[in-house]
Amino acid sequence: MHTTIGAGFGTEHDRPLPALVPPAVVESGRTGGLRVTDQVYRGTRFVGRFASSGLAGFKVFGSGPGVRVRVLLSLDNKAITHWRRNVEGREEASRLPRLIQIRSQGRLRQCVLLDSRSARRRPRATVEFELTADELPRDGLLCVEAVDATEWYGTSPRLTGAVYGRVAPSSVTGVRIDRVEFEPVSRSAAGRFTGVLDATTGEEVSLVSLGGVPYGRKAGARRLDSGLIVVNPMPPSAEPGRIGLCLGLRVAGPPKGGGPARPRVRRTRLGRLRLRVWRVRRAVHTRIRGVLNRLTAAGHALAARIRPVAVPEPLVLSMEDGRAIPVSFTPQGRRDARLDFLAPLTAPALVVLPAAPRLPRRMRLSLVSVARLPW
């Protein structure tokens, strides 16, 4: 009588886990399709959180021309705490932007920039790339890897020097994977990248990355506080075309203050009197603040007209090998400029903007729009 070796060790829990068949969505680290993790803490209400540069491996069986992968990354206050606890560095470095490379199947796919200064509003970045049928192995293991762009062994010294002191070291530490989506590449993505998009919409479709889109952010121009712009190549399913950026100097609005806290009202005559005094002071301060804001805005507008300020010419580097990418930089008027790529991108590009000299206090360098140019 012959028995199979190991048959006596089987339990009721030894069952084959089903693979993911596109379209599929992974929103938890307990999903059976998530097979391999390296330097990733699995989550329950989200996929996981990176301890450092690592990867997540999914078992995906796709059919047809390929698989489109969409990854949603975010940054929160817990990521800042995790970075301070596990990374050796200055305290100020924890609030610097995070520059992250997203690799899959051994190749660089896209890059994202997450701004740690807006971690309270949990900025999110969308990564979207396509894998052909030849890039999917027979066992279906699809790896999504996130690495620090400055500490990767293949990073060019020129790229590292260009962002030195402007991005945080160990950028992947604490970053969350909120959701991973897989869908077949049967639908063309050309309709999403036609015409002119505002900066926020361009970041939501992963065409550019400026620091992540905070929750509650409306469409429109985006401030470039870090002076960095990541431009990702268009997916293969979209029509080939070049990318053009419209940069400009815009006047930022006054900071939104929450106002003084409401005092606790006591059930006494003195408590009611304090409440009346607080209401009068709040009305007076609101009126004074409104007058000062109008005077300040008028002063900045007058200073901007008297002293013209131009958008500085940027440095554009490839995130893959650090070489300079040829672009066309054309100033338009006093406060706007046009940055056009001369050829379609084959790898993510990093636009490094020098600090604009002597800007008025409320003038901010912004990305106004993203356009797809014919090729």
For position 363, what pLDDT does the model report?
62
**Whole-number average pLDDT of the chain:** 83
Q: How far apart are CA 274 and CA 372, in angstroms?
A: 60
Q: For residue 317, tell me if it sits in a domain.
A: no
For position 255, what pLDDT does the model report?
46
For position 313, what pLDDT does the model report?
87
Over residues 298-354, the pLDDT tens digits come to 555 555 454 556 788 899 999 999 999 999 999 887 788 999 999 999 999 999 988
Q: For residue 263, tell me if it sits in a domain.
A: no
For position 8, what pLDDT does the model report?
61
Over residues 103-120, the pLDDT tens digits come to 999 999 999 999 888 767
Q: Which of 20, 59, 16 is nearest to 37 (CA)?
A: 59
Percentage of the chain surpassing pLDDT 90? 40
Over residues 125-141, the pLDDT tens digits come to 999 999 998 998 888 89
For position 315, what pLDDT does the model report?
93
pTM for the predicted model, two decimal places: 0.79
Q: For residue 84, tell me if it sits in a domain.
A: yes
Tell me the average pLDDT across 191-197. Answer: 74
For position 175, what pLDDT does the model report?
95
Q: For residue 125, tell me if it sits in a domain.
A: yes
pLDDT band at 174 (very low <50, low <70, confident <90, very high): very high
Q: For residue 123, tell me if it sits in a domain.
A: yes
Tell me the average pLDDT across 172-186. Answer: 93
Tell me the average pLDDT across 48-75. Answer: 92
Instruction: Provide the token pair at 280.
Output: 């009068």
For position 325, what pLDDT does the model report?
95
CB 29 within 8 A of CB 56: no
- Chain-centre distance for alpha carbon 185: 24
What residue numbers bound the domain in which 116 lies? 21-249
pLDDT band at 12 (very low <50, low <70, confident <90, very high): low
Q: Where are the beta strands (DSSP E) in the chain?
A: 24-26, 34-42, 48-59, 66-74, 98-104, 107-114, 124-132, 141-148, 176-184, 196-198, 208-209, 222-223, 228-231, 242-251, 315-318, 327-332, 336-341, 349-352, 363-373
Q: For residue 216, tell me if it sits in a domain.
A: yes
Q: How far apart are CA 249 and CA 196, in angstroms?
A: 19
Q: Domain total for the chain?
A: 1
Q: For residue 375, tell me if it sits in a domain.
A: no
Tell me the average pLDDT across 40-50. Answer: 94
Percentage of the chain surpassing pLDDT 70? 81
Q: For residue 332, tell me if it sits in a domain.
A: no
For position 188, what pLDDT does the model report?
60
For position 258, what pLDDT does the model report?
46
Q: Is the peptide bond before 354 cis (omega within 30 degrees of 0)?
A: no
For position 269, what pLDDT does the model report?
73
Whichever domain contains 58, its CATH number is 2.60.120.260
Q: How far apart are CA 76 and CA 46, in angstroms?
A: 13
For position 147, what pLDDT does the model report?
95
Quick one: DSSP state of residue 192? G
